[in-house]
Amino acid sequence: MKLPEPIFTPTTLEVNYHFKASPERVFRAWTDPSQLAKWFHPAPDAPDALAEVDLRVGGRYRLGVPSADGEVFYVGGEYTEIDAPHKLAFTWRWEMAADEISDTLIVLEFREEEGGTELFLRHEGFNPMDHEERDQHAIGWNACAAHLYKLLDE
């Protein structure tokens, strides 16, 4: 499967994904902890992620993302907008670098299209002087999206 190429600005990355599943199903994959745990990891054969979700504006989420060697990295944040199944926005911060990297913001838009859903992902707020961080997130999003495609195609 060929994954889409991200579009970059100095502080933002954007990617559009197309899924055969309904917007409700794609939205649920992002918000149901049991489903989120199945696909939210970049390594090909990593175990399921750890997922905690308090799905309400002001609610928090926390993900334990396993690496290929079994180390777990934690990311979390707060939901800032929820309009099921159309839009989801939340802050994003890696716990291991909490003092070094500012929060960023992720905005997801789920648009119904014939035969499925277009998911527009925008990750914004990167340090304009740190393209490497932004670019690594783009790689990570596509790696996770590959697992999401598999989950939604079941």
pLDDT of residue 70: 80
The domains of the chain are located at 16-152
Burial of 142 (0-12, 13-18, 19+ CB in 10 A): middle
In sequence order, what E strands does the chain have?
A: 7-8, 12-19, 50-53, 60-66, 72-83, 87-94, 104-113, 116-124
Global pTM reads: 0.94
Q: What confidence tens digit (pLDDT) does each residue in 66-118 have?
A: 887 888 999 999 999 999 999 999 999 999 865 667 899 999 999 999 889 99
Architecture of domain 16-152: 2-Layer Sandwich (3.30)
